[in-house]
């Protein structure tokens, strides 16, 4: 079952993902919300990283408004039309004001909370549970749609367990397709490596030299004919792999040690007016 169908039947969903499939699951989720107006709450990486990572996957963020709880702590708060900055992931009062303000205006079709697991590292106890329950209940009351991402390893923490009481359902994407795609990618890589070896390796065998004749010139020619095409093949593979890894890293969460350094005061205030005006101006520029 796809996330689109799950959201048709439920308002609030806990999407459980493996840390090894986190990036792929996030891309699949945002693809499933294509065409909808999305409010993306980022607690574990800058909004600029999310935008770059999704755009690299040809997933448009034109209809996505970001509530970014990371960039301000890193000193990156460049004014962007579709980004609202919150001082830190643990500034729950600010987060609550920003999310509820966005929700009250009926501006968005869906809210993506990335991720519920991040709040658990701050050991905020009942405070984070009250915050999460308030957000979930507000989404349910408005009959909006909310997806709360959670890492599989964090299912047993009290924050997630208590949140389950308010959520409509739990969604864990099937991994069979991912496993098959990984096998296909591995086979394709082996094919790319194997073809040059087979083609040029076979050529070296086919050039035989009669007994008693000098083989030095033939050997040098064969080594030369083998080396250049194989070197080019390996360089192409290395460059393609480096590009693939570079394009994927944007969607990785920041290290836990970095996130812990962002711990701020949960008493911080964010003017509701500022959030409302930011969203209103963004909508005007979109239209």
Q: What is the pLDDT of residues 77-86, one digit of tens each?
A: 889 999 999 9
- Using CA atoms, how far apart are residues 28 and 25, in angstroms rounded to an integer? 5
Average pLDDT for 44-54: 95
- pLDDT tens digits for range 55-66: 999 999 999 999
- pLDDT tens digits for range 155-207: 999 999 999 999 999 999 854 344 444 545 554 555 555 555 544 454 444 44
- Using CA atoms, how far apart are residues 104 and 126, in angstroms rounded to an integer? 25
φ, ψ of residue 102 to 5 degrees: the values are -65, -35
pLDDT of residue 194: 53
pLDDT reading at 221 higher than 50: yes
Average pLDDT for 150-154: 93
**CA dihedral of 195, 201, 203, 205, whole degrees rounded to 10:** -150
Using DSSP, state whether 261 is helix, strand or coil: coil
Q: Supply the DSSP symbol for 164.
A: T
- 211 Ramachandran zone, left/alpha/beta (phi>0; psi -120 to 50): beta
Average pLDDT for 123-143: 94
pLDDT of residue 204: 45
The percent of residues in the chain predicted with pLDDT above 90, rounded, is: 56
pLDDT of residue 100: 95
Is 244 or 2 the better-scoring residue by pLDDT? Answer: 2
What's the chain's average pLDDT?
81
Contact between 4 and 28 under an 8 Å Cβ cutoff? The reply is no
- Using CA atoms, how far apart are residues 63 and 101, in angstroms rounded to an integer? 18
Q: Supply the DSSP symbol for 264.
A: -
- Using CA atoms, how far apart are residues 30 and 112, in angstroms rounded to an integer? 9
pLDDT reading at 111 higher than 90: yes
Lowest mean pLDDT among 52-56, 148-152, 221-225: 221-225
Structure token pair of residue 101: 């303000």
pLDDT reading at 263 higher than 70: no
Q: What share of the chain is helix, strand, coil (3-state, %, to 5)?
A: 55, 10, 30
pLDDT of residue 229: 62
Average pLDDT for 67-92: 92
Centre a 10 Å sphere on the Cβ of residue 160 and count the other Cβ atoms it contains.
23
Contacts of 133 (CB under 8 A, 6+ apart): 162, 163, 166
What confidence tier does 265 reach under pLDDT thresholds 50, 70, 90? low
pLDDT reading at 96 higher than 80: yes
φ, ψ of residue 71 to 5 degrees: the values are -60, -40
- Closest CA relative to residue 13, chosen from 111, 87, 125, 90: 111
Tell me the β-bridge partners of 41.
67, 113
Query: What is the H or E stretch that residue 129 is in?
Result: helix 126-142
pLDDT of residue 101: 94
Lowest mean pLDDT among 84-98, 122-136, 205-219, 244-258: 205-219
Give all strands of the β-sheet with 110-114 in edge-to-edge order: 83-85, 64-68, 38-42, 110-114, 145-151, 12-17, 169-171
The percent of residues in the chain predicted with pLDDT above 70, rounded, is: 71
* Cα-based distances in Å from 287 to 30, 31, 59: 21, 22, 20
What confidence tier does 94 reach under pLDDT thresholds 50, 70, 90? very high
Is 178 or 120 the better-scoring residue by pLDDT? Answer: 120
pLDDT reading at 134 higher than 90: yes
Lowest mean pLDDT among 4-13, 190-199, 234-243: 190-199
């Amino acid at each position: 079952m796809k996330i689109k169908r799950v959201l048709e039947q439920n308002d609030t969903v806990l999407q459980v993902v493996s840390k090894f499939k986190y990036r792929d699951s996030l891309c699949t989720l945002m693809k499933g919300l294509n065409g909808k107006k999305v409010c993306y709450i980022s607690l574990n990486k800058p909004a600029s990283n999310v935008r770059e990572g999704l755009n690299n996957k040809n997933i448009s963020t034109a209809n996505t408004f970001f509530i970014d709880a990371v960039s301000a702590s890193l000193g990156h708060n460049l004014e962007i039309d579709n980004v609202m900055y919150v001082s830190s992931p643990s500034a729950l009062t600010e987060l609550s004001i920003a999310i509820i303000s966005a929700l009250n205006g009926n501006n968005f079709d869906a809210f993506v909370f990335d991720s519920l697991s991040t709040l658990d590292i701050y050991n905020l106890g009942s405070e984070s549970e009250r915050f999460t329950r308030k957000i979930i209940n507000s989404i349910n009351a408005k009959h909006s749609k909310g997806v709360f991402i959670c890492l599989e390893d964090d299912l047993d923490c009290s924050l997630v367990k208590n949140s389950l009481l308010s959520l409509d359902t739990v969604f864990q994407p099937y991994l069979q397709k991912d496993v098959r795609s990984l096998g296909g990618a591995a086979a394709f890589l082996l094919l790319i490596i194997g073809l040059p070896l087979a083609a040029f390796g076979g050529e070296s065998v086919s050039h035989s030299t009669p007994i008693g004749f000098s083989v030095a010139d033939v050997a040098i020619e064969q080594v030369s004919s083998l080396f250049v095409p194989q070197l080019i093949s390996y360089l192409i593979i290395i460059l393609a792999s480096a590009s693939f890894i570079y394009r994927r890293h944007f969607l990785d969460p920041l290290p836990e040690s970095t996130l812990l350094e962002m711990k701020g005061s949960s008493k911080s205030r964010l003017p509701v007016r500022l959030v409302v005006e930011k969203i209103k101006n963004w909508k005007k520029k979109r239209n």
